[in-house]
Amino acid sequence: MSAIVKDWNKLKSEIDKLKREGKKIVFTNGCFDILHAGHVDYLLKAKELGDALVVGLNSDASISRIKGNARPIVPFEERAFVMANLKPVDFVTIFEEDTPYELIKTIVPDYLVKGADWADEDIVGRDIVIANGGEIKRIEFTVRQSTSKIIKTILEKNGCR
């Protein structure tokens, strides 16, 4: 049963309970602005690594700072609703910062997951996970799709670019 948990203390409590039960916690993060097949494939593979998958979603303000004022396309509440209702996702939370470092420090997952396009040294929170006996996992993309490509395609098909 998936849940949207905005309060990190509540999330930590849930995660700690699962850890006491011997469950392995997987964490990933991102904007997940316009959900597509590449996202779903990635999340399915991430979930296979452990027992509970936590997805940290960038806040709307965070996405705007990172991607520009035209983003996000889909507001947080809708992104979180969709994410929380995907089969592999157990928990969804929000972070306001540009990176999930403080969130990772709060929940200390067993596995920190990013796409294979990320260099190990660039993965935020890597130090926390490794120091606590966890692992960094990089997932190869088999579905070559992105939100930016979708937006570009829409604009091109409508003669906007």
Residues 86-126 pLDDT 10s: 999 999 999 999 999 999 999 999 999 999 999 989 999 99
Can you tell me which residue has the tokens 């520009």? Answer: 68
pTM: 0.90
Residue 157: pLDDT band (50, 70, 90) is: confident
Helices (H) and strands (E) in the chain, counts: 7, 6
List Cα–Cα distances, 9 to 2, 72, 99, in angstroms: 17, 26, 18
pLDDT surpasses 90 at 55 = yes
Residue 34: pLDDT band (50, 70, 90) is: confident
What does the pLDDT average to over 1-30?
A: 94
pLDDT surpasses 80 at 67 = yes
Predicted pLDDT at 103 = 98
Answer positive or negative: Cα dihedral of 83, 84, 88, 93: positive
pLDDT surpasses 80 at 28 = yes
Predicted pLDDT at 161 = 61
Answer positive or negative: Cα dihedral of 128, 130, 134, 135: positive
CATH architecture of 3-157: 3-Layer(aba) Sandwich (3.40)
Predicted pLDDT at 145 = 63
Dist CA 41 CA 47 (whole Å): 10
* Alpha helix positions (H), the chain: 8-20, 37-47, 60-67, 76-84, 101-107, 126-131, 147-157
pLDDT surpasses 90 at 144 = no
Can you tell me which residue has the tokens 């929170």? Answer: 125
pLDDT surpasses 70 at 1 = no
